[in-house]
Structure formats: structure tokens, C-alpha cells
Structure 1
Amino acid sequence: MKRKEALERLFQKYGEKVIVRDREVSAILRPLQYKSGASLNLPTEYYDNLHYLYTGPAGEPLCTGDAVSSGARNYVVKRADTALMAGEELYVWAVLKVLDDGADREVFLEADGKRAAVADSYTVKCVQQSRTVSAWGEQDAVSTAPGRISYELTVRNVRPENGADLCALSGFCLIAAGNGERTVYSGCRWKNITAQGGAGNTPRQSMEMVAAARTQEKEGESGGQ
């Protein structure tokens, strides 16, 4: 019996039924702790009781942002890959996060209509250049006047896709998508990029950026940059 076939029998016997893209799959889900995830080179913020390690058949690959449901719980895929041995695909592993109804399902950067990178989390600060209005001869302000609005964002654990160079990006979008809607920060330019890495470790990159505009769209709509 081949290794792949033995693993698939193990999933059928000991796994639980989960739904992936409207298909029922037998897979093993367990809380992600340091010992179970360190070999996958995952950020330490994954090791809590809200993240789970998925192990399932190689014939059902997962992608970042996919929805997975099991019983009364819903999850979103944060990271996924296929384990290989001697060139043979043995099984799929994924990091799942418990998903609330209003939570973002995925966060990614888009340039020229193509996905350039995915990210784990972001922080946004809305900045308005407001000013006070004072009457002539009065010491105290009587009102305020609105000014130009801009957005300052910090994006953490950014992972380029398709060989994208983060330093070469300009005029791109940050998109946070979830529950049928998405928030788009467009006209982005980065201010600084920080990378942390080491021998044998995948570099972890963070970006600080500014955005010119913010829009909210229904899934399937496409706003221009």
C-alpha cells in the first residue's frame, strides 16, 4: 500500500467530516500549539485556541481565504500547503482560524488587477486634516472645518505571490474581504518595509503605507484604482 493511500484511509477512519467548497471531506482538525506548528515555521500568534491545524487528503487542496465548516464551527484558511515526500503529494495541511460572521476572510494586496501578496492582519488609522474656525476678534473657536482625509495602514506578515517584489509596488490596493463585502484602500504607496528572517526561516515582512481612498463593495464588484 502506498503512503498516500494509507493516509487517506487514516483520514476516513479517524477524521471528521468537514465541508470545503461545498464538498464533504474527511480530515483531522486539532488545536494549533507550538509543538504541532513549529515545524511549519508559523508565526507565534497562531498558537492559541482560535487556530486549528487541518490535515486532509492531497486530492482536496486549500487556498488562503477558503471557507471550511465542521459541525457548528466555521473557519477560514490562513495558510495552506501540500506535504511532499520523494516527489509524491501525501496530504494537505492548513492553518484554520475560527471565523465570526463579521470577520475578514482574507487580506491581500492587489496591483494592476492581480493579487500581489497576502497578509495576516492590518491596522488602519484614518487621518483628517481638520481645522478650527474662529470669529474675528474671538479667542475661542466657534466651529470646525473638514479637511483632506488619508489613511495610514500597517500590514503584518505580508507574503508575496507569483514572485512579486514588494519594494516595486506603487499605486496598489489593500483589500480586506469577508462575508460578501470587501473594503478597498486604493492608491496605496508604501512608506517602509520591514523583514525578519534567518537561516532556515521564511522571511516575515511588514509594511507601513498610506492610501488615498477607501471604498466598500459587494463581492463581485470591481472598483478602479
Structure 2
Amino acid sequence: MELLVPKRQSVSIELNGERVACASAVKCVCVKERRAIRAFGEAEAVAWLERSPSYRLELSQLSVPRQIGRSSLWEMSDFRLVTVQDGVRTVYSGCEWQELTERADAGDGFLAEHAVMTARKRSREEEPV
């Protein structure tokens, strides 16, 4: 399977370690929530419960090879999104689709103009030179 990716930056979606799609750009919004714990009848918080951060990822121009197909892409669950930029590899795991705006042209394979997903975890590592 051949995927076209820009030279300095790449964005790919992996399922079981295999690249199944690529995108031209990704935007990540990290959300970290805190919840106040209050004693019964008290206005002031006695403690704060911090949740693990969650990530909302927006992809532009997501392309999928013909052999993968749009239905199998949408059915994917608990997959990984990998970005590489300037030698830094960022892996978002536990990804789930939220929305997918699609377009299909004859002979070009499937193209999602805009895709939104959530991820449970993010890790970063330097790529060897």
C-alpha cells in the first residue's frame, strides 16, 4: 500500500501497526478537567479530582487507499494516530471517530475533507537521525 506524505511532516492512522490512511494536517486540542469535591453542605471545595487529559484531533484531507475503503475506516475503533514533525514522533492512542466529512471522486480513492476524533493518551519520542 502506498501513501503519499509530505517530506517534513507526516500524519498517518495505524491499525494493528499498519498504516491505513494519511492526512495533510492535524490540529490537537488537549482538555484537562478538574472537579471540585465538597463536604456536604459546604460551599468551599475540600479537594480537587483531576482527570487524565483527553485529546480532540481534527484532521484535514484524510486520504484512504482504495483497498481499505471508507466503511472500514469509519468502523475502526481504538486505533492510533501518528504524526511526525521535525524529527519528533507523536502517537495518539485509544482513538475513536467523532465525525467524518467525506468526498469521493472517481478513481481517486476516498477523501475525508475533515475528520474529528478523540484520543485517550499521547506520547512523544525523538526519531533517530
TM-score higher than 0.5: yes
Query: Corresponding residue for 2:17?
Result: 113
Match status 1:207 vs 2:115: yes
| Cα 1:201/1:175, change in 2 over 3 Å | closer
| Equivalent residue runs for 1:153-172 within 5 Å | 153-161=57-65, 163-165=67-69, 166-172=73-79
Match status 1:128 vs 2:35: no
TM-score, normalised to structure 1, is 0.46
Contact 1:185 1:212 in 2 (8 A): yes
Aligned length: 121
Contact 1:174 1:184 in 2 (8 A): yes
Structure having the higher strand fraction is 2
TM-score, normalised to structure 2, is 0.75
The one-letter code matched in structure 2 to 1:152 is R
SS at 2:74's partner residue? Answer: helix
Measured in 1, the distance between the counterparts of 2:33 and 2:109 equals 39
The one-letter code matched in structure 2 to 1:211 is A
Structure 1: stretches of 5+ with no match in the other structure: 1-62, 67-75, 77-104, 221-225
Bigger relative contact order, structure 1 or 2, given CA contacts below 8 A and separation 6+? 2
Contact 1:107 1:119 in 2 (8 A): yes
Query: Corresponding residue for 2:84?
Result: 177
SS at 1:167's partner residue? Answer: helix
Task: Tell which structure's C-alpha radius of gyration is larger.
Answer: 1
The one-letter code matched in structure 2 to 1:185 is Y
Measured against aligned partners, the alpha-carbon deviations of 1:43-91 in whole angstroms (never above 9, x if no partner) come to xxxxxxxxxxxxxxxxxxxx5232xxxxxxxxx4xxxxxxxxxxxxxxx
Contact 2:97 2:118 in 1 (8 A): yes
Structure having the higher helix fraction is 1
Structure 2: stretches of 5+ with no match in the other structure: none
